[in-house]
Amino acid sequence: MHRWPVRVYYEDTDLAGIVYYANYLKLIERARTEWT
């Protein structure tokens, strides 16, 4: 297992401050592009 810190922006969350499940794909893509 690898860990890569990713900043979660306000636009990725709902009103309760929880990341909307479909936005996990954006977070994974951000981490992938920063890793290479």
**Percent of the chain topping pLDDT 90:** 8
pLDDT at res. 16: 93
- The contacts found for 3-10 with CB under 8 angstroms, 24 or more apart, are 4/31, 4/34, 4/35, 6/30, 6/31, 6/34
Q: Does residue 22 carry a pLDDT above 80?
A: yes
Mean pLDDT of 11-33: 88
Known catalytic residues are 14
Domain holding 26, by residue range, is: 1-36
Count the domains in the chain.
1
pLDDT classification of 30: cutoffs 50, 70, 90: confident
Mean pLDDT of 19-35: 86
Q: Is residue 27 a contact partner of residue 8, using CB atoms and an 8 Å limit?
A: yes
pLDDT at res. 5: 82
3-class DSSP state of 21:
helix
pLDDT averaged over every residue in the chain: 85
